[in-house]
Amino acid sequence: MGRRGVAAVAPLKKLLAWVWRRPAKVKVLLAAALGLCAVVALKLLVKDHKQFFIASETVHFVGILVLIYKLTTQRTCTGLSLKTQELTALFLAARLSCSYSMEGDIYTILDFSTLISTLWVIYMIRFKLKSTYIVELDNFPLYYVTVPCAILAILIHPYTYHGRFARILWAFAVYLESISVLPQLRMIHNTKMIEPFTAHYVFALGIARFLGCANWIIQVYDSAGKYLFLVGAGYIWLPMFLLAEIVQTFILADFCYYYVKGVMNGQLIVRLPSPV
């Protein structure tokens, strides 16, 4: 990096150092303010809501490609949660199975591409690179997320002209996607550090989750809050989904902060002094 690059990065390092010294409550408020500013900027710059979903899925797919690069070049899956990949494949398969009839557009293509890539990652972890997989640290029970999501999808799902099963399956995919990263975050918490390529992947998930969350917030704003009160039309699930998206976004935002801090300090391995 040249002198100009160093000079440009220095103020950002000082800003991150200042944020690092603030109390936890101040950090949360700063993160919320930054997120709000980003949502406002997206609201002003992006006119078509479909672009949010396309961008979110594209970023997710790029994150998977980063994992594929790691698995093929380094021949190791250390630090990678197989359970998060399995949950990802599950919600993608669920969404893909009903997206053709409910949407059948670019979303289906993106979901299919991401699903195939995720299945390849699962295959590599389970069979080709099994010796490098640390199963003891990937100890988040899958039924903790799959069972509640299934029950919630049966009870609360969108009301459309599509079949009931398709609507329940779609809701299940929505709920599961919002918390599918929890096993990976649990694994990061167990190790207290994360190597570069996995860090890039989780950071991509954070960006993707933020874009998805921003889309819903903007739609609620554009509808003057009506989205949150369409109970009679079967949309009581939206407030719960929006809450899950916001919570998950903030969980990933904590990791993204350490990620940016580590990158700015030139650290190849992101170290987490506190639980994610």
In 42-52, which positions are buried (b, 16+ CB within 10 angstroms) versus exposed (e)?
A: beeebeeeeeb
Query: Average pLDDT, whole number, for the chain?
Result: 78
Q: What is the mean pLDDT of residues 126-133?
A: 93
For the whole model, what pTM was predicted? 0.81
Instruction: List Cβ neighbours of 81 (8 Å cut-off, separation of 6 or more).
Output: 138, 140, 183, 184, 186, 187
Per-residue CA distances from 33 to 29, 39, 40 (Å): 6, 10, 11
Confidence class for position 268, pLDDT limits 50, 70, 90: low
**At 232, is the pLDDT very low, low, confident or very high (cuts 50, 70, 90)?**
very low
Judge whether residue 58 has pLDDT over 70: yes
- C-alpha of 137 from chain center: 20
**pLDDT at residue 276 in the model:** 43
Distance in angstroms (rounded) separating the CA atoms of residues 247 and 233: 25
Task: Note whether 55 and 212 are within 8 A (CB).
Answer: no
* Kind and range of the H or E run holding 182: helix 182-191
115 neighbors 96 (Cβ within 8 angstroms): yes
